[in-house]
Amino acid sequence: MKKKLTIGIICAVVCETIFGLSYLFTKHITLSFSPLDVLSWRFMIAFIGINLCLLFKIIKVDFKGKNLKPILMTALFCPILYFTSETFGIDLTTACESGTIIASIPIVTLLCSALILKEKPSKNQIVGIGITFTGVIITVIVKGLDASFDILGYIMLFIAVLSYSLYSVFCKKAADFTSIEKTYIMITMGFVFFGLISTGEHLLKGTFNEFMMFPFYSRDFLITVLYLGFGASIIAFLLSNTAIEFLGTNKTASFVGLSTVVSILSGIVILSESFTFLQLFGSILVLLGVYVSNMKLKQKKEA
């Protein structure tokens, strides 16, 4: 039990670190390429990578005799609905608005977990996630109190939040599948969905050949999709699924705010962005919230 808790915590922390760094890659590359092209290549790389692992027997999957509904629902909510709605939501709203709404994922996850899985959150989890949410809001608002008042953008972001929360719930419900099997289905469905949309778009525009040559034309594009494909898809999805399996949806959700802290720190170190006292305060609140959410967990480990 102690070993599983430790592994779950490590998986959650590393997963959110990878996601936090992925924002840096995505922010840079979408200045030159459309988000849809990046997503399609991301999952193409991930699909090739995970099937090579399967071919060389680094991993194994077995779907025979299993009810596929929970795992297909997991993949429907993430990556398909989550990435689609998040991409359009961020595009239609300001960074401040999108960051604030996305930060509500842990709160919505608690509600979905309680309603669907009947997992009652502990007082520590409620207080901790509240503190983390406050910290994220502070760090996001510091960057600018601007507003787009774009209703469609808000709707898309709320769909993204709900999708990620339901992904966590159905990932937990898909108990008959290993974390690797969940990751394989998620990547496969992402590859098919985003690949078909992007391919169709470029065929209609007559730019399919250019689309297929993006990684060869642009070194930055290649580096980005390799990181997103292998790191933020294969590795991060596997870590996220493992964390949910070992810690549960509520405890795993408490770590989501860490990606914001990582994103801020990477911007400071790599892009030389400014860092204010309020951002520091907000980051400390995020870390404090994660600690409070898992205080009981730590006590169990020490007992």
Task: Tokens for 274, please give them.
Answer: 């400014």
Task: Round to whole Å and give the CA distance between 297 and 125.
Answer: 10
**Position 302 confidence tier, pLDDT thresholds 50, 70, 90:** very low
Give backbone dihedrals phi and psi of 9, rounded to 5 degrees, phi first.
-65, -45
pLDDT at 300 over 60: no
pLDDT at 146 over 80: no
Could you read off the pLDDT of 14-48 as tens digits, one per residue? 999 999 898 888 878 888 999 999 999 999 999 99
pLDDT at 296 over 80: no
Give backbone dihedrals phi and psi of 248, rounded to 5 degrees, phi first.
95, 170
Residue 262 maps to a domain? no
Task: Round to whole Å and give the CA distance between 67 and 138.
Answer: 43
Task: Round to whole Å and give the CA distance between 292 and 203.
Answer: 52
How many folded domains does the chain comprise? Answer: 1
In this structure, are residues 116 and 167 in contact, taking their beta carbons and an 8 Å threshold? Answer: no
Residue 50 maps to a domain? yes
Length, in residues, of the chain: 303
Residue 134 maps to a domain? no
In this prediction, residue 280 carries a pLDDT of 85
What percentage of the chain's residues is helix, strand, coil (to nearest 5)? 80, 0, 20
Task: Round to whole Å and give the CA distance between 60 and 54.
Answer: 6
In this structure, are residues 33 and 42 in contact, taking their beta carbons and an 8 Å threshold? Answer: no
Domain span at 30: 2-120+146-256
**Position 101 confidence tier, pLDDT thresholds 50, 70, 90:** confident
* Mean pLDDT, range 54-80, rounded to an integer: 95
Q: Which residue, among 152, 161, 191, 169, has the nearest Cα to 249 in the 3D structure?
A: 169
What percentage of the chain exceeds 70 in pLDDT? 95
Place of tokens 């980005």: 224
Residue 268 maps to a domain? no
pLDDT at 301 over 50: no
* Mean pLDDT, range 55-81, rounded to an integer: 95
- DSSP state at residue 59: S
User: Chain-wide mean pLDDT for the chain?
Assistant: 89
**37, amino acid identity:** D
In this prediction, residue 224 carries a pLDDT of 94
Residue 266 maps to a domain? no
**163, amino acid identity:** S
Could you read off the pLDDT of 109-142 as tens digits, one per residue? 999 999 999 888 888 889 999 999 998 888 877 7
Could you read off the pLDDT of 255-272 as tens digits, one per residue? 998 988 888 788 788 877
Q: Which residue, among 130, 120, 116, has the nearest Cα to 74 in the 3D structure?
A: 116
Residue 108 maps to a domain? yes
Task: Round to whole Å and give the CA distance between 216 and 41.
Answer: 12
Task: Tokens for 283, please give them.
Answer: 């980051």
Could you read off the pLDDT of 206-231 as tens digits, one per residue? 999 999 999 999 999 999 999 999 99
Q: How much is the pTM?
A: 0.90
Task: Round to whole Å and give the CA distance between 8 and 4.
Answer: 6
* Mean pLDDT, range 161-188, rounded to an integer: 96
